[in-house]
Chains A and B, each alone.
Chain A
Amino acid sequence: MRGRLASAAGDAAIVVAAATILGIGGNLLRDEPLALLPHEPPPVLVPCPEGGAAEALEPAEVRPATDLLVDARPREAHAAWHPEGALSVPYDFLDPVSEEAVREILDAAASGGRARVVVYGDGDRPDTGMALARELAGRGVRHVYAVTGGAPALRAALEGSP
């Protein structure tokens, strides 16, 4: 039995060597080959099994230090008030979010080591924050939440006013 296993291990090593050559060789023939030794982690972009599901988050549960905050309101409203570090991604119900905006969110989440993407909107019905959060989840962004009540509720929670 030991001899059989030793022989099998030798054959297995040959297979792994051949697979390495096939994998790397095949990659070189691709139009856009993968970098063999990337020095940066890939963005946290993986298929979302739930398919576009975003959870509601109470304003008191928002953690600005560890969450990536995304402002779905128009730029003027963002300029008037926003928590420090919040990204401005104005949401339009008629236009899809651009690839650049999705990429910016993913890069910011990855580089800042943020555990959650927390979106807040105007707090109206329908809420732009929840709409943007759902779109981001459907586009492959994971761990997306929408602040219940939007910017007014978030501001009250962060600044301690009623």
Chain B
Amino acid sequence: MTRRSLRDAALLALRLYLGGIFVFASVHKILDPASFALDVATYGILPPELVNLVALVLPWVELVAGLMLAVGFRTAAGALLVDGMLLVFIAALASALHRGVDTSCGCFASDGGDHPIGVGTVLRDLGWLALGLAVLFLDRNPLGVDRWLDRRARGRSPEVS
């Protein structure tokens, strides 16, 4: 196995891991937006008028971005979205912790199985952000749909004599 294929495999594993997390995290929020809206409201950051809109739209962004990362389609855009969301989540968690808000994370489940927020939650998201940045800046020719489309386009392009 060459060094390049090893790197491709490692980045693919990273993308599958991050993409899987975001797809998994989105499912319960899409199925139960009312519970997710309560989680969003408990953070006390958004004005009430925006809580439901964010609760309805954000899970779909998570789902699509996660799928994009996992299958390697428009991978850079998927990584950009994931990194942007993680930055927002980290800021929200840090703000809530600073204000002493006692709430569950709202990251994966709203049925009481979720853990309360803490420094560990912030560190976990920072770790995921580092992985997302690695995908964004290191995975220039991602293994997946992007590479397949790229090869297909090159195969069709007329040869220059």
Does B127 interact with chain A (Cβ within 8 Å)?
Answer: no
Q: Closest A-chain residue to B84, C-beta based?
A: A12
- CB of B103 within 8 Å of the partner chain: yes
Q: Which residues of B lie under 8 Å from residue A16 when comparing CB positions?
A: 57, 61, 81
Q: How far is the CA of A8 from the CA of B79 in the complex (A)?
A: 9
In the bound complex, do residue A34 and residue B34 qualify as a contact, i.e. CB atoms below 8 Å apart? yes
* CB interface residues, B 119-161, toward A, < 8 Å: 136-137, 140
| CA distance in complex: A37, B77 (Å) | 29
| Given known A-B contacts A15-B64, A34-B33, A34-B37, A8 and B80 have beta carbons under 8 A apart | yes
Q: In this assembly, does A44 line the interface, its C-beta being within 8 Å of a C-beta of chain B?
A: yes
C-alpha gap A35/B37 in the complex (Å): 11
A15 B49 Cβ-Cβ under 8 A: no
Q: Which of B52, B79, B112 contacts A36 (CB 8 A)?
A: B52
Instruction: Pick the contact of A46: B42, B64, B79 (CB < 8 A).
Output: B42
Choose among B63, B68, B74 the residue with the greatest number of A CB atoms under 10 Å from its CB: B74
| Range for the number of chain B residues in contact with chain A | 35 or more
Least distance between B70 CB and chain A CB atoms (Å)? 14
Known A4-B140, A34-B52, A49-B116; 16 more pairs at CB < 8 Å: A4-B76, A8-B74, A9-B77, A11-B77, A15-B64, A15-B65, A15-B77, A16-B61, A19-B61, A23-B56, A23-B58, A23-B60, A26-B30, A36-B56, A47-B111, A49-B112
Cross-chain contact A49 with B104 (CB below 8 angstroms): yes
List A residues 18-48 near B (Cβ within 8 Å): 18-20, 22-24, 26-27, 34-42, 44-48
Measured CB to CB, the closest approach of chain A to B59, in angstroms, equals 7
Query: Roughly how many angstroms separate A143 CA and B51 CA in the complex, as a whole number?
Result: 22
Task: Name the distance in Å between B3's Cβ and chain A's nearest Cβ.
Answer: 22
27 inter-chain pairs at a CB distance below 8 angstroms, sorted by A residue, are A5-B76, A8-B80, A8-B136, A12-B77, A12-B81, A19-B64, A22-B60, A23-B33, A23-B56, A23-B58, A23-B60, A24-B56, A24-B57, A26-B30, A26-B60, A34-B34, A36-B52, A37-B52, A37-B53, A38-B52, A39-B49, A42-B37, A46-B39, A46-B42, A47-B104, A48-B112, A49-B104
Q: What is the CA–CA distance of A1 and B34 in the complex, to the nearest angstrom?
A: 40
A45-B33 Cα distance, complex, nearest whole Å: 14
> Quick check: is A7 within 8 A (CB to CB) of the other chain?
yes
Q: For B63, list chain A residues within 8 Å (CB).
A: 19
